[in-house]
Amino acid sequence: MSDQIIPVDQLLPNKLYLVALMGRPIFPGIFTPIMIGNPSDVKVVEDANSGDGLIGLVMLQNDTDSPSITDLYTIGTAAKIVKKINLPDGGVNIFISTLKRFRVKKTLNPSNPIVAAVEYLEEEEDNTSEVKALTRALISEMKQISENNPLFSEEMRLNMINIDHPGKIADFIASILNIDKAEQQKILEILNVRKRMEQVLVFIKKEQELLRIQKKIQKEINEKIEKSQRDYFLKEELKAIKTELGMTTDAKSSDYQRFKDKFDSFKFEGEVKETVDQEMEKFSLMEPNSAEFTVTRNYLDVIAALPWNKPAPEVFELRNAQAILEADHYGLKDVKTRIVEYLAVRKLRGNALQKGSERNYATGSIVCLVGPPGVGKTSVGRSIARALGKQFFRFSVGGMRDEAEIKGHRRTYIGAMPGKIIQGLKIVKTKDPVFMIDEIDKMGASYHGDPASALLEVLDPEQNNSFRDHYLDLPFDISSVFFIVTANTLDTIPPPLLDRMEIIQLPGYIDTEKLEIAKRYLLPKSLEKNGLGKNHVKYTKDSLLHIANSYAREAGVRNFEKNLDKIHRKLAKQIIEAQESSANNDEEEKNKNSAVNNNPQDKKSTAASGKKETSEKLLRFNIDKKLIEKHLGKPIFREDDIKTANKPGMSVGLAWTSMGGDTLVIEATSLPVKEGITLTGKMGETMKESAEIAMTVARKLAVEQYGVSKDWFEKNHIHMHIPEGATPKDGPSAGITMATALLSLMRGKTVAPKLVMTGELSLTGLVLPIGGLKEKTIAARRNRAKHIIFPKHNERDLDEIPEHVKKGIEFHAVEKFDEVLALALPD
């Protein structure tokens, strides 16, 4: 009996256990391993292997950990398990031989395990010459791809050539091409061999295009690498040739020699010398193209730019320094005296050190100038530098929240740089300059650190002789620097920082001082700034006082200068318009005269002369109150802005703010309702407590001394208010003012005119000391007060107030509240 060949589809069962494929579909005619990890799929493999060893491989439409029949495509591939290897993690590795395409006809079990009835699909053969041509094309194109792609092994090439069936060739190529799994599934579902081959050929062309682009990119990269290597070797050869000829080799060698010469002149010792030598050795071994080379060169640049050598002894005349301060600033007598005393001590100490100490230069100083805005704190600092003949460097720390701004960033950070102190020394190139640190009261803290804490080392004479910047990371002596810091208030400066400074208060200016400052400094400066000459503008004393009192009543003179600038800009505009108008008239007159033949030269001369006189008249301005109001508008501060107590229940007090002294009105009234007191005007906690004390003291005195009935308090509700309700107010110094207002209300009597007061009140009726008497006196003078009541404990502060400020004001020192009442509400 002869052997009979049985077709494959007759050997395949109509029922298959299905294994879900997550990666990509597997085509018929392939021998390949598959890793199975899902427990349900492992069971399918075990069951199939114990039987006929046949399974169905179908790709998932959507990735899921627990697939069912609905998650699978309908067309897959039947496969025979050739070998099974159990894995330690419970999974299996199987080697399969794929046989034929099938379609799922019916679901027998939807999941765990998936079992389906299937029908096997026959390929639609087409033995035309077109199919033969496609077969050759596929093999030829794949040979080209395999030659340029190392991922295609020699075994793949041989398998492709040995396959004799066109459909299997298309399946094999589709399985090894880098195609999306959905596209591969579409190819698997194409039964017509010619169409399948055409589709595969399209993907081959796409792969060839990708390879062409990849090859182009690879070529460009290789060219860049080759150029870089070529340049490097050429530079090395050039360096060797220059060395042989004794020429300077490169910029690196030039930098190295420059650094070496500079560092040798500094004569470093100890840690500084050791660190610099190490950095120089590293620098000499680095390649110029490396990133570390630039970092090290920048670091050495900073070291080389700093003034390491000791400065020359200070040489300045105290008389000259005093003359410079007098020339630069009007008034501020107490401030100038203290600065001159400070300079005298500095000079005396410097002389002593020069004679008997190794350090032959004066140590630095730390001065804090405190005052309202616009009183000249920054200009005083510049004058000190000029008086000492020192370099001046200023920087502001207002709003600063990062301590690295003071002490620098560590060199490990990209873009690191030294702090402001080292930067300033690098700029001035001297070890004993005058440094001004502006707005020290406006620093803040954040997660970056606290700059105020960083300043503790900078401003401490016991520590700053070895100040260590984070970037420099070397001890640098900044003890010779004369530090001047400025602030508007001391309240926000940390006490440890405040303890390191000598405090000098700069009070505000009164109107007569502003008048002199305007004449000597502000007017000439503003005229020059706006292109005007002295002969263009003339101010009277009354007009300048009008600006001071009606437009710039604050403590400083900054707004005064702004108002002068505003006037001068408008005058400059008028002058230019007048000159242009005059020029146009001259041109018209010239044209007119040229048309007349009766001595035209004389007519031209006469006309030009007349127009010149008219122009000169237009260039002169006499500034009076009327012209000021024309250019500046209606006055900001009017005469009725003078705060007065003209009704019972009112009194005028004095307050201190960061902007200088100020006056405040206390208002009290009563309502015929239930007993009590209401406080308004945005008072702080301390001021509210002072108001309660004032109420207790006033009520006791009203009943016991002035005969006010107790029933009056039971039937009246008192409301006390401080105007300008949006402005926060706090402090105890308004105690006697509030008590006076309350007693004025209770007695129905008006407080004495042109009288202001300040002082804390105790429950026993004592008047306790306050601060800022000088600033408060200036505010009282601006308010045109004639009498000031103040605590007797503050009599010593009267000596600090200039005579011209006290002139015309009578001061009443009191110890008890009864004395206040005798002056404010006399019987």
Distance CA 455, CA 440 (A): 10
49 pLDDT exceeds 60? yes
Of the pLDDT bands very low, low, confident and very high (cuts 50, 70, 90), residue 157 is low
Whether the Cβ atoms of residue 687 and residue 804 lie closer than 8 Å to each other: no
Give Cβ neighbours of residue 8 (< 8 Å, ≥ 6 apart). Answer: 99, 100
Please provide the DSSP assignment of 551-606 as one string: T--SSSSHHHHHHHHHHHHHHHHHHHHHHHHHHHHHHHHHHHHHT--SSHHHHHHH
Q: Can you read off the two tokens belonging to residue 419? A: 């702090």
Distance CA 244, CA 111 (A): 84
| Residue with more model confidence, 551 or 10 | 551
Whether the Cβ atoms of residue 226 and residue 236 lie closer than 8 Å to each other: no
Of the pLDDT bands very low, low, confident and very high (cuts 50, 70, 90), residue 150 is low
Amino acid letter, 98: T
What local confidence, expressed as pLDDT, does residue 742 receive?
94
Catalytic residue annotation: 733, 776
Dihedral in degrees, nearest 10, Cα atoms 245, 251, 254, 255: -160
Lowest mean pLDDT among 284-293, 571-580, 587-596: 587-596
Per-residue pLDDT of 431-466, as tens digits, reads: 888 899 998 888 877 777 778 888 888 888 778 888
The verdict on whether omega for the bond into residue 110 sits within 30 degrees of 0, i.e. cis, is no
The pTM of the whole model exceeds 0.85: no
Give Cβ neighbours of residue 806 (< 8 Å, ≥ 6 apart). Answer: 777, 798
Of the pLDDT bands very low, low, confident and very high (cuts 50, 70, 90), residue 332 is confident
Radius of gyration of the chain (CA): 48
What local confidence, expressed as pLDDT, does residue 604 receive?
46
Distance CA 646, CA 105 (A): 108
Percent of the chain with pLDDT over 90: 16
What local confidence, expressed as pLDDT, does residue 358 receive?
47
SS3 sequence, 713-766? HHHCEEEEECCCCCCCECCCCCHHHHHHHHHHHHHCCCCCCCEEECCEECCCCE
Roughly what angle, to the nearest 10 degrees, separates helices 291-305 and 251-266? 30
Amino acid letter, 632: L
Whether the Cβ atoms of residue 530 and residue 556 lie closer than 8 Å to each other: no
| Residue with more model confidence, 323 or 140 | 323
User: What's the whole-number mean pLDDT along residues 778-805?
Assistant: 88
607 pLDDT exceeds 60? no
Residue 50 C-beta-side C-alpha neighbours within 13 Å:
5
- Strands (DSSP E) contained in 463-512 are 467-468, 475-476, 482-487, 502-505
Of the pLDDT bands very low, low, confident and very high (cuts 50, 70, 90), residue 600 is very low
What local confidence, expressed as pLDDT, does residue 155 receive?
63
Residue 736 φ/ψ region, left for φ over 0, alpha for ψ in the -120 to 50 degree band, beta for the rest:
alpha
Backbone angles phi, psi at 433, to 5 degrees: -80, 180
Distance CA 393, CA 438 (A): 11
What local confidence, expressed as pLDDT, does residue 649 receive?
93
312 pLDDT exceeds 80? no
Of the pLDDT bands very low, low, confident and very high (cuts 50, 70, 90), residue 1 is very low
What local confidence, expressed as pLDDT, does residue 367 receive?
86
Give Cβ neighbours of residue 318 (< 8 Å, ≥ 6 apart). Answer: 340, 343, 344, 347
According to DSSP, the residues that pair with 768 across neighbouring strands are 760
Distance CA 650, CA 665 (A): 7
Q: Can you read off the two tokens belonging to residue 608? A: 């030009």
What local confidence, expressed as pLDDT, does residue 148 receive?
65
Distance CA 808, CA 816 (A): 25
Per-residue pLDDT of 365-402, as tens digits, reads: 788 888 888 888 888 888 888 888 888 999 888 888 88
> b/e for 234-260, b at 16 or more Cβ within 10 A?
eeeeeeeeeeeeeeeeeebeebbeebe
Whether the Cβ atoms of residue 766 and residue 791 lie closer than 8 Å to each other: no
CA 529 to chain centre: 32
What local confidence, expressed as pLDDT, does residue 154 receive?
62
Of the pLDDT bands very low, low, confident and very high (cuts 50, 70, 90), residue 158 is low
Of the pLDDT bands very low, low, confident and very high (cuts 50, 70, 90), residue 581 is confident
What local confidence, expressed as pLDDT, does residue 363 receive?
57
Helix (H) or strand (E) holding 375: none
**Of 719, 760, 724, nearest in space to 741 by CA:** 719
What local confidence, expressed as pLDDT, does residue 162 receive?
66
What local confidence, expressed as pLDDT, does residue 792 receive?
94
Amino acid letter, 656: W
What local confidence, expressed as pLDDT, does residue 251 receive?
58
759 pLDDT exceeds 60? yes
- Strands (DSSP E) contained in 4-89 are 15-21, 31-36, 54-59, 75-86
Q: What angle do CA 798, 804, 806 make, to 5 degrees?
A: 40
Whether the Cβ atoms of residue 631 and residue 642 lie closer than 8 Å to each other: no
User: What's the whole-number mean pLDDT along residues 208-222?
Assistant: 83
What local confidence, expressed as pLDDT, does residue 751 receive?
94
User: What's the whole-number mean pLDDT along residues 769-775?
Assistant: 86
361 pLDDT exceeds 50? no
Of 230-234, 465-469, 745-749, which one has max mean pLDDT? Answer: 745-749
**Of 517, 613, 630, 515, nearest in space to 571 by CA:** 630
